[in-house]
Each structure stands twice: as C-alpha cells, then as structure tokens.
Amino acid sequence: MYEQLEALPDGLTGEILNGQLYAQPRPSGAHVVTATSLADELVSPFQKGRGGSGGWWIAAEPELHFIHNTEVDVPDLAGWCRSRLPRIRQDHRFTVVSD
C-alpha cells in the first residue's frame, strides 16, 4: 500500500487510513498561508519558549505512521511534547503519535 502512496503523481498528496489510500490535490494557496500563520503563532511560545512554555516540536505536514507504512496520515500541523519525542528523526516518517 505504501508504494501506491509514493507513486502518486506530482500535485497530489495522500494518506492511508483503515487500509484505504486517499489522494487529494495539494492545498490551495489560501490554505497554505493560513496553516503557516497558525504555525507561526504556535512555534514561538511552544517550540521556542518565547512567551510560552516551550518544550514542544511543532511540524507542518508531518507524515505520521500509526502503523509503519500501513496507517499513514498527513495533518496540516502536529505537535509533540519533547519529553515524548526528544529528537526529530532524519527521515520523513514520524512514528511517535503526536500530542
């Protein structure tokens, strides 16, 4: 199933949920700008500790693997408490479920 996800044509993004591949066009410009603005609001206080608690990782469009290469989700934004995810992986797969 993951091979089908990787084979999607340019301009499409996909997720595998309950064993089913779902594909959709890349987000519109307005969607991307809104997600970026929301990330900007969250990164300073939660990731950098500027005016907030710090201690979090905030990521835009992470590839979450609930079951390795079988259940894959790509939310607009996700966050992890660093006590649960001390380091960011070098590849694109996040295997620790976001908080």
Pairing of strands 77-81, 12-17: unpaired
- pLDDT for the residue numbered 48: 95
Do the beta carbons of residue 94 and residue 78 sit within 8 Å? Answer: yes
Angstrom distance (rounded) from CA 42 to CA 10: 29
- pLDDT for the residue numbered 1: 83
Write out pLDDT tens, residues 65-76.
998 888 999 999
CA distances from 82 to 4, 12, 50, 58, 67 (A): 32, 31, 16, 10, 21
pLDDT mean for each 10 residues of the chain (99 residues): 91 92 93 93 96 95 90 94 94 93
Do the beta carbons of residue 76 and residue 58 sit within 8 Å? Answer: no
- pLDDT for the residue numbered 54: 96
